[in-house]
Structure 1
Amino acid sequence: MGVEEEFFLVDPRTGAPVPRAPRVIEAAAALIGPQAQSEFYSCQLEVCTQPTASRADLRDQLAALRQTAGLAARDAGCLLVGSGTAVIPPADPIPVSDDPRYRRMARYYRAVVDGRLGPVCGCHVHIGTLDRPQVLDLANRLRPYLPALQALAVNSPFAGGLESGFAGWRSVEFGRWPTAGPAPVLDPLGYERTADGLVSSGILLDRAMIYWFARPSEHVPTLEIRIADSNADLDTTVLLALLTRGLCTALMAESATEDRPPPNVPTGRLRAAHLFAARYGRHGEGLDPFTGDTVPAHRLTSRLLGRAAPGLEATGDLAEVERLLDGVRRHGTGADRQRAVHERTGSLHTVVDHLASITAPDLR
């Protein structure tokens, strides 16, 4: 497994995003090389772990990457913040990063690229090593369980300085991009035809713009899961990665021993289930992708854990995942915590300071 985390760079005085990524990435890359990367907007950076089979190593890598990026941000006069959306909007639109591909995307999709609400930060989990048929079979089988994973990682209740009404507004905002949503059920030939058609038609500029929630990576032999907000809380990121690997391990084992097709869940129903997850997180109602019924969201979390349990036992992660899930139950999701700080203080700036203090805790 491997994890990519995207972070905002914000001004300590205003709490708003600032376009200082080039300086921060240059300083961080001097220590961690290509594990520090630019993102679409110049107020963002991404850090990427090395592949690992160890949950302890994954946690250590994530903590070290955050520390390095946080130090580089501090030296550039800004803060590293883990949140799906910017809590406080920038005074001026944030420019796109100085990259030929990003500039081309900005020209082609101008209605989406506004530089104020458009910057969003996600957390992506890679599972591998897998060949393309394995990746697609696994993506087909994962589809109904991804809304429950999303609900655990919601961390974007504020957008543009306002309460969005959603626990995870990032997915709504990012959903304006073509293909952002549930993946279709595809075999290898179907994937190639679909991907080629999306690019040749001009809907997408390249295959890297296939933003399905579960997709084959085009540069490493992995399945990439793209449904989570960036979180300040490291435990949430570790929980997401371990649950994803456990679920994949269980589903792959079943696929190898049982001759059953992937669940036939309509894409429209899946989209609705993801909207429920974005709206409520793990509180309130969820939509059961298998039946279309509304149910308490925590039931979907329990089913997810039960489905992943054989894989978590196989990887030795079941007790740790149960511990991390109990932490979410007791302390809430990232969105719950952001709202609690705001309710207590009435200050969005305090929400940003709170996020920064958790994202890179040793620096505050």
Structure 2
Amino acid sequence: MDVLTMGVEEEFHLVDRVSRAPVNRAPQVIRELVPELGGQVQAEFYTTQVEVCTLPAVEREDLRAQLLRLRSSVAGAADGAGCLAVASGSPVIMPHEPLTITDNARYRLMASRFSGLVGPERLVCGCHVHVGSLDRGRALALANQMRPWLPVLQSITGNSPFVCGRDTGLDSWRSVAYSSWPTVGPPPLLDERQYLAHVDGLISAGVLLDRKMIYWHARPSEHVPTLEIRISDVNADLDTVVLTAVLVRGLASVLLEEADAGVPPPEPPDRVLRVAHRLAARHGIDGPGVDVWTGGPAHADLLVDRLVERAAPGLEKAGDLGAVEALWAALRRRGTGARRQRAVYAATGSLEAVVDSLNAATGSLAVEAA
């Protein structure tokens, strides 16, 4: 069993220090970061967002150290621009200024063609995990095997209960808001030939602008040789990010070996997968989920137990099993980011305090990295 590399992309909101509302200061923050980070910092769709990405890592502690350094750098550059970098899947407080789109031709065309999907409640930040190195054919074979597990992975990462001043009743508003974009959802079962024909057809029909707009929950990356898992909210809690990444890598190691051996992928109905994702977005680990193999109910945290068990050979091979068991036990006890955001609001009655708690997590990381 190979030990795959893993990498993480994180998107952050930039919010004003006083109002805690999103502010359009990404160009300034990114200019400050480029000399240090180069291509590891990027613009996102809105100028209230900054994205950073790690280099491929084999060791869990290397990945964690990279994330610490990147978060520290972003926090410092945001401070220089008079704002805060906040890891939340959605903006807690309504923007006080009009949102602006990043100034490049592709984003301008997307904003024009999909104008109904643009606005403050669609301003979302995710965390994407890459595993590799894989050519497109193997990445697709792995995606086919991983489809049933993606709702379970999603359930541990909910961190967007509030959007623009209101409680959505969800663990992950980001998942719901983002699902309005074309192709967002479970990946279809495809081999490489079918993938190319399917995607080319979507582009020819005008459904998508290009291959970068394939937003399946698991997709072969078009710019690096990886499978990209796209089901997570960005999380202020770094342990949640590390847990998600090493679980993805451990599970991928097990399932890729089966895919290479010609084991047929499971084929749960698409409608069942979508229900499982909806329940993960609503309840996280604190409520009912769906056993996609039977279609019956199962408590969400027990599905995570099953995922850890399924991934155990890959986790053990990479030296991650003990760490994952400890990280999962801690998350189960403390709850998802969404539960923690709500706890702050229940204690204070203040959405500003919720933003401050998210920023405090990033601030403590900056101190740790220093």
TM (norm. structure 2) is: 0.96
Cross-structure match for 1:155: 159
Cross-structure match for 1:41: 46
How far is 1:284 from its partner? 1.1
Aligned to 2:301: 298
- How many angstroms apart in 2 are the aligned matches of 1:303 and 1:248? 15
**1:267 deviation in Å?**
1.1
By how many angstroms is 1:337 displaced? 0.5
The answer as to 2:84 corresponding to 1:79 is yes
Letter in 2 for 1:84: G
Which of 213, 234, 237 is residue 233 of structure 1 equivalent to? 237
Equivalence for 2:12: 7
2:219 alignment partner, SS class: strand
Which of the residues 299, 304, 315 maps onto 1:312? 315
Q: Counterpart of 1:186 in structure 2: which amino acid? A: L
Give the match's secondary structure for 1:360: helix
| Cα distance in 2 for residues equivalent to 1:210 and 1:112 | 16
Contact 1:80 1:360 in 2 (8 A): no
Identity among equivalent positions (%) equals 54
Q: State how many pairs are aligned.
A: 362
TM-score scaled by length of structure 1: 0.98
Q: Within 5 A, what are the aligned runs for 1:1-364? A: 1-114=6-119, 116-257=120-261, 259-361=262-364
Greater than 6 Å deviation, 4+ residue runs = none
Structure 2 Cα separation of the partners of residues 127 and 307 of structure 1: 17
Deviation of the 1:254 alpha carbon:
2.3
- Classify 1:296/1:9 alpha carbon distance in 2 versus 1 (closer, same or farther; 3 Å): same
SS in 2 for 1:117: helix
Partner amino acid, structure 2, of 1:133: G
Deviation, structure 1 residue 316:
0.8
CA RMSD of aligned residues (A): 1.0
Q: C-alpha displacement at 1:92, in angstroms?
A: 3.0
Say if 1:179 and 1:210, in contact at 8 Å, map to a contact too.
yes
Write out per-residue CA displacement over residues 311-363 of structure 1, whole angstroms, 9 at most, x where no aligned residue.
10111100011111011012111001101000000100000000011023255
2:90 corresponds to which letter in structure 1? T
Q: Give, in whole Å, the separation in 2 of the partners of 1:363 and 1:356.
A: 11
Paired residue type of 1:270: L
Please, which runs of 5 or more residues in structure 1 have no aligned partner? none
Whole-angstrom distance in 2 between the partners of 1:359 and 1:197 = 42
CA distance in 1, matches of 2:298, 2:60: 32
2:162–2:168 Cα contact (<8 Å) kept: yes
After superposition, the C-alpha distances for 1:87-125 in whole angstroms (9 at most, x for unaligned) are 1110233111111110110011011012x1111000000
In structure 1, what residue type is equivalent to 2:111?
A
Pair 1:226–1:346, CA change in 2 (3 A): same
